[in-house]
A = this chain, B = another copy of it.
C-alpha cells in the first residue's frame, strides 16, 4: 500500500491535542481526537489504542474512512475509530474530530427534557444545533452503546448532519471543526457551556444566544483560538513535567 507521510507539524499538533484534552479534563482513559490527513483527504490520523494523555508522535496511525487501519501492524486500534471515518466521509469540510465522555455533557445526552444550547459567546458553535444520536434507533435496545462498525458510524454522521456537535445518548459526544485547534477549542467549550447551562437552568429561564449572535460570536471568538491553544499546550507540558 502506498502511504504518504503527513506533515510532521500536523502530527505534533495531534499529539498536543491529545495531551491538552487530557489535561483539560475532556478526555481521561477514554475518548480520542483525530485529524484528516493533510496530503490525502481519504485518510485520517488517530493514535493507536491507548490513553490519550500518553500519546506521542510514534503512536499516530493512518486509517481509511471505513475504519481500516493502514499501518497499525500488530498494534491495537480504537474500537470506535468508525466515529471518525464516517464523519470524514460525510463531511468534506471537517478536518478534525473529538469523541469524548466529558462529564457535564453526558447528563444532556440522557435527559429527555433538556437541550444543549449556547448560553455564552464562547460556545457560539452550538448555535448550529446539538442533535442527539440515539443508538437504539440503529442498533436496537441491547447494544453496548459503542460505535463499533461503519454502519453505526454512518448513522452517527447522519445525526450530526451539518452541525458541529452531536450528543450520544448514555455515552458522550462528538465534536467536529475545520481545524485541529478549533476542534480542541470546541470540545473544551462544549463542556464549559454544559456546566454553565445546568446552573443557569437551576437559576431559571436562561436567555440563550440568538442564532445570529451565536454565528457572530463563533466567528469572533474562534478567530482567537491561538491564545487558548498556547496556554493549554503550556499547561499540559508543565503537568507532564516536560
Contact surface of A with B, Cβ cutoff 8 Å: 28-30, 49-51, 53-54, 79, 101, 103-104, 106-114, 118-122, 124, 141-146, 169-172, 192, 195-196, 198-210, 212-213, 215-217, 219-221, 224, 227-228, 230-232, 234, 238, 241
Could you list 12 further interchain pairs (A-B, Cβ under 8 angstroms) beyond the known A29-B228, A170-B208? A50-B227, A104-B199, A110-B206, A111-B203, A111-B205, A113-B205, A142-B212, A143-B216, A144-B216, A145-B213, A146-B217, A198-B203
**A-B pairs with lowest CB-CB distance, top 6:** A142-B212, A113-B204, A111-B203, A29-B228, A144-B216, A107-B199
Interface pair B170/A203, CB less than 8 Å apart: no
Partner of A206, one of B111, B220, B241: B111
Measured between beta carbons, the chain B residues less than 8 angstroms from A224 are 30
Assembly CA distance A113 to B238 (angstroms): 42
Measured between beta carbons, the chain B residues less than 8 angstroms from A238 are 241
Interface pair B200/A107, CB less than 8 Å apart: yes
Partner of A200, one of B111, B146, B204, B213: B111
* Given A192-B103, A213-B145, A228-B29, A114 contacting B170 (CB threshold 8 A): no
CB distance from A96 to the nearest CB of B (A): 19
Partner of A110, one of B113, B120, B146: B120
CB distance from A129 to the nearest CB of B (A): 18
Measured between beta carbons, the chain B residues less than 8 angstroms from A198 are 199, 202-203
Measured between beta carbons, the chain B residues less than 8 angstroms from A208 are 110, 170
CB distance from A208 to the nearest CB of B (A): 8
Interface pair B119/A110, CB less than 8 Å apart: yes
Interface pair B103/A170, CB less than 8 Å apart: no
Interface pair A203/B120, CB less than 8 Å apart: no
Interface pair A170/B219, CB less than 8 Å apart: no
Measured between beta carbons, the chain B residues less than 8 angstroms from A169 are 207
Q: Residue of B at shortest CB range from A124?
A: B144
* Given A29-B227, A53-B231, A227-B51, A119 contacting B144 (CB threshold 8 A): no
Interface pair B200/A110, CB less than 8 Å apart: yes
Interface pair B231/A29, CB less than 8 Å apart: yes
CB distance from A138 to the nearest CB of B (A): 13
Measured between beta carbons, the chain B residues less than 8 angstroms from A146 are 121, 217, 220
Assembly CA distance A39 to B121 (angstroms): 36
